[in-house]
Structure 1
């Protein structure tokens, strides 16, 4: 198995503007700034945080994203500070039907939802991003696919939620949550995988397809088409396999 998670991709109207918001909120840095892509990554080059990539997209956001980020907090006071900081940077509260919950649901300046969590023991060592959360009809099935794609083992699962994490025990979680109003089709957030130049990429694609991936037609948002293969997971969530590995910690 040679593919691995590279980044969470945001399709955006203003990539640098949204990248600056997330960099400031997370305490990360812009590591790549091009017209077709802006990347944000954690400052620790030895960490296993997944980078964020912001691409230009000519389609409006429609409904709730099927993927979002959960941000960690160390205490209730820290949670309040995180929320205040997000609001000051341009976030706004949103109601997605969450009701009375201990976490706070916000949206970034382009309406992409995220949560600022109350302190939770399972996220004490994740860094700024506690979890990348994906809505799903079948948490176990989708977790099994992404475990095969990323190399991260499934650490817990039940009928409601399944979670993966790097075998190092560091960095954010990748979690799949059963969602009654799950939608198919395109979404503004997705994951990218990467392989290395020496890898047998056709074999990697065959392995991903055997695990449940399907090919999809590239779109205008798939910039640099020669560098990516456009695929979808078993629930039609789009993702891309980058043909070449990238050092996400350098400009």
Structure 2
């Protein structure tokens, strides 16, 4: 059996307000399954589907204190589109951000709660991804992260180097998942993390055991009140193993 990436989990002090920002930024629908939980997905989307990686925004009181290790890269189709998108995002409450990127052809921004994201210059690779070009994970060893996540999911690995690894759904649709070498080290729990889900009929206990055999570990978080399983990848990034669907 295997899993696939179905959503990004993002913590927020105000999930509704941050949900409105990202809903308008992406042109997606916004819903809620209960207090403190805001769900975002494309309008008319039939979850789960590889054409999109959805976003769940969960209320947490703790403020953001360090640069996120997981971020979104947004796709654009032309220089004019990129300029228009950056201007529109500023109007929605985003700000320009400096994470030491220097002179680059893309624009680094932060959402209203300080979560970093990038508006990319037009790239042919992302012409059919939808508004999210890629989910990007900072890491120390892209090769090791590619090994783990290639085994964890049924996504297709497209490129692996010492500095970068990229993969996409087995159907060749939706955003990419990318691992980029950075000098930073993980110091706190991730406010943005990956959620993976097994296919219908899968044995969750067996899937957890398989992920642990690949190198997943227990992050030491109390899980007594939840119905899913929280694990950590080989670099300590938390992720959730959801129930099959």
Give the alignment's TM-score, normalised by structure 1.
0.91
* Residues 135-146 of structure 1 mapped to structure 2, 5 A cutoff: 135-146=138-149
Deviates more, 1:65-74 or 1:196-205: 196-205
Distance in 2 (alpha carbons) for counterparts of 1:90 and 1:133: 22
Match of 1:119 in 2: 122
Match of 2:7 in 1: 7
Structure 1 pair 171–110 and aligned structure 2 pair: CA distance change class (3 A): same
| Mapped contact 1:36–1:56 kept (Cα < 8 A) | yes
Match of 2:192 in 1: 189
Say if 2:233 is the partner of 1:233: yes
Which ranges of structure 2 fall in alignment gaps of 5 or more residues?
A: none
Distance in 1 (alpha carbons) for counterparts of 2:243 and 2:219: 16
TM-superposed CA distance for 1:47, in Å, is 5.6
Match of 1:198 in 2: 201
Cα deviation digits, residues 22-43 of structure 1 (max 9, x gap): 0100011114342132110122
Match of 2:27 in 1: 27
Say if 2:157 is the partner of 1:154: yes
Task: Please tell me the root mean square deviation across aligned C-alpha atoms, in Å.
Answer: 1.7
Q: How many residues align?
A: 242
Give the alignment's TM-score, normalised by structure 2.
0.93
Distance in 2 (alpha carbons) for counterparts of 1:82 and 1:58: 30
Distance in 1 (alpha carbons) for counterparts of 2:225 and 2:179: 28
Structure 1 pair 17–33 and aligned structure 2 pair: CA distance change class (3 A): farther
Cα deviation digits, residues 39-73 of structure 1 (max 9, x gap): 10122536621000000112221111001000000
Runs (4+) off by over 4 Å: none
Distance in 1 (alpha carbons) for counterparts of 2:157 and 2:191: 25
Say if 2:162 is the partner of 1:132: no
Say if 2:94 is the partner of 1:81: no
Distance in 2 (alpha carbons) for counterparts of 1:93 and 1:66: 18
Which ranges of structure 1 fall in alignment gaps of 5 or more residues?
A: 246-251
Structure 1 pair 156–125 and aligned structure 2 pair: CA distance change class (3 A): same
Match of 2:216 in 1: 213
Cα deviation digits, residues 124-164 of structure 1 (max 9, x gap): 11110000000000001102211222211211111110001
Distance in 1 (alpha carbons) for counterparts of 2:23 and 2:151: 30
Distance in 1 (alpha carbons) for counterparts of 2:28 and 2:205: 34
Structure 1 pair 28–63 and aligned structure 2 pair: CA distance change class (3 A): same
TM-superposed CA distance for 1:198, in Å, is 2.7
